[in-house]
A and B are shown apart, each in its own frame.
Chain A
Amino acid sequence: MATFFDINLFALFGQLLIGLINGSFYALLALGLAIIFGLLKIINFSQGALYMLGAFAAWIALNYLGISYWWALILVPLAVGAFGIVIERTLIRPIANEDHLYSLLLTFGIALILQGLFTHWYGSSGLSYAMPEALKGGTRLPFMYLPNYRAWIIVFSLLVCACTWFMIEKTRLGAYLRAGTENAQLMQAFGINVPLLVTLTYGFGVGLAGLAGVLAAPIYTVSPDMGSNILIVVFAIVVIGGMGSIGGAIITGLAMGIVEGLTKYFYPEASNTVIFLVMVLVLLIKPAGLFGKEA
């Protein structure tokens, strides 16, 4: 076994890999939150529940409808996004002009409903999703064993994050989105259909959560409370990073995953709490968040 200064490299890289995978999920969810927040100015408390919905949708698609993982990867985010669009149009839109506190409470209520329904239908113990054939097995690297599926999660979610970043920062549609973030009213005056943009943004942000859910299904247990646990961590990450920048959300998500992985290796007792402690530290040193602009 390769040891170096009393460090078990095999175990260390193993934890780093897990950290990187968790970080990928954090990044996807934080990215969705940041995009939605940018235009709608609301914190989507149901982001975690929709991530859970994505995982369950993939499970149902495979086990009841025979839809494969690869199709689920495309169809489920679209379905979750469509579900989000319905929620935005029917529930969030009517109270868009009220205090943003209410929309936060509304999305919390939606999260409770979804989590409650799935607990009732599938119990709280959780289900397992069969690993797709093509991604079974792994590669033996000199310092660690890399399961193919885990490598796939990291590569694919990074790709999605990068594409989203590119779309928002470099394309015309992204320019509209950024302009809307700055001043939606002015943009409306320029003849851009802001309500449509808002709806699509919400659908897209929520779709990212659905996608993360599909990705998570084969490696985590698909259970009703998978969303709420991860969401609170993602909130801490959003506080650490600040929601001002899209790139910031992605980087903070990944970095916190790695921090968590390292903690699991060096001091496992604190691995649950380390991200919250980092948040405390950031609040003390730079209250606006690492990438935050506002005071």
Chain B
Amino acid sequence: MYNKKLNLVLLGLALIAPFILYPVFLMKVLCFALFACAFNLLLGFAGLLSFGHAVFLGSGAYVTGYVMVTYGLTPELGILAGVVMSALIGLIYGKLAVRREGIYFAMVTLALAQLAFFFFLQSPFTGGEDGLQGIPRGNLFGLIDLTDNLTMYYFVLAVFIIGFLTIYRTVHSPFGQVMKAIRENEPRAISLGYKVNQYKLMAFVLSATLAGLAGSTKALVFQLASLTDVHWFMSGEVVLMTLLGGMGTIWGPVIGAATIVSMQNFLASGPLANYIHVLMGVVFVICVLAFRNGLVGELQKVIRKNSS
């Protein structure tokens, strides 16, 4: 009951937010929040650290951008194309990556992402260093014009909610339980007869698909797909968002993404603009040393302590 009320309040806040804050900023937060939630599905619930998740964000963005520019598709079809591509890449990369465990998994995903980075850098269709610019937002279902930022915001909010509910449902499903079992104790999950690698692969593909959804949507918001989206730095950024907000919590990545995006926005115009990377590194170090549960995780701890 309490949670239902809280969710309604949050939804209400999200609906009036664009009248208080700049819609493009909010859309950026939502896209990165979805990206971080997708990443968290893999790291927080399946215990797999992918250090190359930018590739799914980026390929979603590039493919959506490309089909929108070249074929003039409607946005929902453009996003579908991007998402399908991310899912396919996720399937291939996932099949390779689940062959190794632990830190090797992180290294394999990072190296595979770098492979994709060079592909996007050298392919003629991506516009190289300039990226794909001037991607049209188009008319949703051929009916609703998305050029207006306010309309676009509600569309992005809808996409985010769909993605978020998918993750919520997955985590609380029997499949999600098996994922957590693998995270906690892989040998035991194997001994119980679960085909662990298949579960890992499914989690990987699902995470890649949703990261692609975030990327496709982001490409429409900013009307741009660029190498920044596939760079290893982006992969690091999403790890930081999830870590800061709280790994393995439902809301953590959303809070983490909002914090990091706000921090970047706030700093970009100030005297510390040159120190953004340094500060992100510092936040990383502080998170790891001082509060590994993240903002939401620590909050939950406090609440639990007070209620008991």
A residues neighboring B (CB under 8 Å) = 42-43, 91, 94-95, 98, 100-106, 108-117, 119-120, 228, 232-233, 235-236, 238-239, 269, 272-273, 276-277, 279-280, 283-284, 287
Contacts and interface: CB of A to CB of B under 8 A. Distances in A.
Interface in B233-247: 236, 239, 243
Interface string B99-121: 11011101110111011001100
Contacts of B111: 232-233, 235-236, 239, 276, 279
A233 B278 CA distance: 23
B289 A94 contact: yes
B190 interface: no
A272 B110 CA distance: 15
A111 B274 CA distance: 16
A113 B281 contact: yes
Contacts of A101: 49, 103
Nearest to B278: A116
A97 to B, nearest CB: 12
A236 B107 contact: yes
Given A95-B289, A112-B278, A276 B114 contact: yes
Contacts of B292: 98, 102
B232 A228 contact: yes
A93 B292 CA distance: 15
Give me the 7 closest cross-chain CB pairs, A-B, nearest first.
A109-B284, A112-B281, A116-B277, A113-B281, A116-B278, A276-B115, A236-B111
Q: Which of B115, B239, B275 has the most CB of A within 10 A?
A: B115
Contacts of A228: 232
Contacts of A119: 274, 277
Contacts of A277: 115
Contacts of B283: 109
A109 B110 contact: no
Nearest to B284: A109
Contacts of B275: 116, 120
- Which secondary structure dominates chain B's binding surface? helix
Interface of B: 49, 96, 99-100, 102-104, 106-108, 110-112, 114-115, 118-119, 122, 232, 236, 239, 243, 274-285, 287-289, 292
Contacts of B122: 269, 272
Contacts of A102: 288, 292
Given A100-B102, A109-B284, 14 more contacts: A42-B103, A104-B103, A108-B284, A109-B282, A109-B285, A111-B281, A112-B236, A119-B277, A232-B114, A236-B107, A269-B122, A273-B115, A279-B111, A283-B108
Contacts of B102: 100
Contacts of A114: 281
Contact of A110 (B112, B243, B285, B287): B285
Contacts of A232: 110-111, 114, 232
A100 B285 contact: no
